[in-house]
């Protein structure tokens, strides 16, 4: 069963009893993040959850019953796993069945990634045992909340910056694959922080990734995100957003700068995206903010 949305095509492997499906795709640092909803005919339905890359699936909503992840199509999952919002990690090409019985629909977030990329994201924070073995129908509240936000980001007609989606993806994967976190969060050194902040300020009009920033100071993405927040009190995404809004305010006070020019200069998709984000952060539209500060 194959579904297409724009240039993206997704295929459910070995489907049975499935009626229709919808997909929305975003990609963050090479990780495909899909918000999927599939509908079934009455009776039993299933499909193979595996793919050419490792798969992490988070069930967000079930209508008409409960879905399961099964290694044996004819053997039910353990009762303790049959709770809402379960998560399953399926290594590449390992057959695991997504199974339902007389269930109307399932909505899920599904991530597809190369296991080696987890090393770039987490470095020594990665738990190799968790990343190397399948784990079906486990539960983690933090991962589910991140998945809900990522699903909304997939659906958004006006998506946020890449740092926001990357941060959510990193937090979700961290909840599932990170080893024991350090007892104390140490910040970046003064020289490291200066280097990163200068880079963000110099590239306000560009798309910047967590991995890019982490490489500037020779850290994994998870180490960098944790240490950056310890140093600044905010996430890389929030710092970039605050800096963009601050620069936009400077430009608005300069005569002759149009809203469209300010938007492009500060890294927003267009004037509409800039206006909505500016109001969300400051509580006023750019025009209202400007009028309140000019005689």
Cβ-based neighbour number of residue 153 at 10 Å: 19
**What local confidence, expressed as pLDDT, does residue 89 receive?**
95
C-alpha distance across the termini of the chain, in Å: 63
Is residue 279's pLDDT more than 70?
A: yes
Closest alpha carbon to 58 in 98, 3, 22, 26: 98
Domain boundaries, given as residue ranges, for the chain: 2-176, 182-233, 239-291
pLDDT tens-digit profile of 9-28? 788 899 999 999 999 999 88
Is residue 8's pLDDT more than 80?
A: no
Is residue 99's pLDDT more than 90?
A: yes
237 in Cβ contact with 140 (< 8 Å)? no
CATH topology identical between 2-176 and 239-291: no
Which helix (H) or strand (E) covers residue 92, if one does? none
pLDDT tens-digit profile of 193-208? 999 999 999 998 888 8
- Domain 239-291 class in CATH: mainly alpha
Q: Which of 69-78, 226-235, 286-295 has the lowest mean pLDDT?
A: 286-295
Cβ-based neighbour number of residue 116 at 10 Å: 9
Is residue 104's pLDDT more than 80?
A: yes
Strand partners, 13: 48
205 in Cβ contact with 159 (< 8 Å)? no
**What local confidence, expressed as pLDDT, does residue 95 receive?**
93
Model confidence at 138, pLDDT cuts 50, 70, 90, reads very high
For the whole model, what pTM was predicted? 0.80
For the chain, give the longest Cα–Cα distance. 75
How far, rounded to the nearest angstrom, does the alpha carbon of residue 55 sit from its chain's CA centroid?
A: 14
Taking the C-alpha atoms of residue 109 and residue 35, their distance in angstroms, rounded to an integer, is 5
Neighbouring C-alpha atoms within 13 Å toward the C-beta of 67: 31
Is residue 36's pLDDT more than 90?
A: yes
- CATH 3.40.190.10 at 2-176, yes or no: no
**What local confidence, expressed as pLDDT, does residue 181 receive?**
61
Provide the angle, in degrees to the nearest 10, between the axes of the packed helices 162-177 and 221-232.
110
pLDDT tens-digit profile of 168-223? 998 899 889 887 666 566 889 999 999 999 999 999 888 888 889 999 999 888 88
Helix (H, G, I), strand (E, B) or coil at 187: coil
Average pLDDT value over all residues in the chain = 87
Q: List all residues 6 or more positions away from 61 whose beta carbon is below 8 Å from its beta carbon.
A: 105, 106, 107
Taking the C-alpha atoms of residue 281 and residue 245, their distance in angstroms, rounded to an integer, is 8
Phi, psi of 280 (to 5 degrees): -65, -35
Q: How many residues does the chain have?
A: 295
102-120: average pLDDT:
89
**What local confidence, expressed as pLDDT, does residue 256 receive?**
65
Higher pLDDT, 131 or 93: 93
Instruction: Supply 96's token pair.
Output: 């695991």
């Amino acid at each position: 069963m194959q579904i297409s949305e724009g240039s993206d095509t997704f295929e459910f492997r070995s489907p049975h009893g499935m009626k229709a499906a919808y997909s929305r795709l975003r990609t963050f640092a090479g990780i495909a993040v899909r918000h999927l909803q599939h509908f079934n005919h009455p009776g039993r339905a299933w499909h193979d959850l595996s793919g050419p890359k490792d798969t992490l699936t988070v069930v967000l909503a079930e209508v008409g019953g409960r879905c399961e992840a099964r290694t044996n199509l004819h053997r039910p999952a353990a009762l303790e796993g049959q709770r809402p919002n379960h998560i399953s990690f399926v290594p590449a090409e390992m057959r695991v069945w997504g199974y339902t019985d007389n269930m109307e629909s399932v909505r899920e977030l599904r991530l597809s990634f190369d296991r080696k990329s987890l090393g770039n994201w987490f470095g020594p924070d990665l738990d190799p045992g968790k990343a190397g073995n399948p784990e079906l129908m486990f539960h983690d509240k933090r991962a589910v909340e991140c998945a809900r936000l990522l699903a909304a980001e997939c659906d958004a007609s006006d998506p946020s910056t890449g740092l926001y989606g990357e941060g959510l993806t990193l937090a979700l994967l961290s909840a599932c694959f990170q080893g024991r976190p350090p007892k104390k969060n140490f910040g970046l050194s003064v020289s490291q922080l200066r280097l990163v902040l200068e880079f963000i300020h110099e590239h306000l009009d560009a798309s910047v990734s967590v991995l890019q920033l982490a490489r500037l100071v020779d850290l994994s993405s998870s180490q960098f995100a944790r240490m950056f927040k310890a140093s600044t009190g905010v996430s890389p995404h929030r710092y970039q957003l605050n800096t963009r809004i601050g620069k936009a305010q400077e430009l608005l006070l300069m005569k002759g700068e149009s809203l469209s020019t300010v938007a492009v200069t500060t890294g927003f998709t267009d004037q509409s995206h800039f206006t909505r984000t500016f109001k969300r952060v400051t509580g006023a539209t750019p025009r209202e903010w400007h009028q309140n500060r000019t005689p």
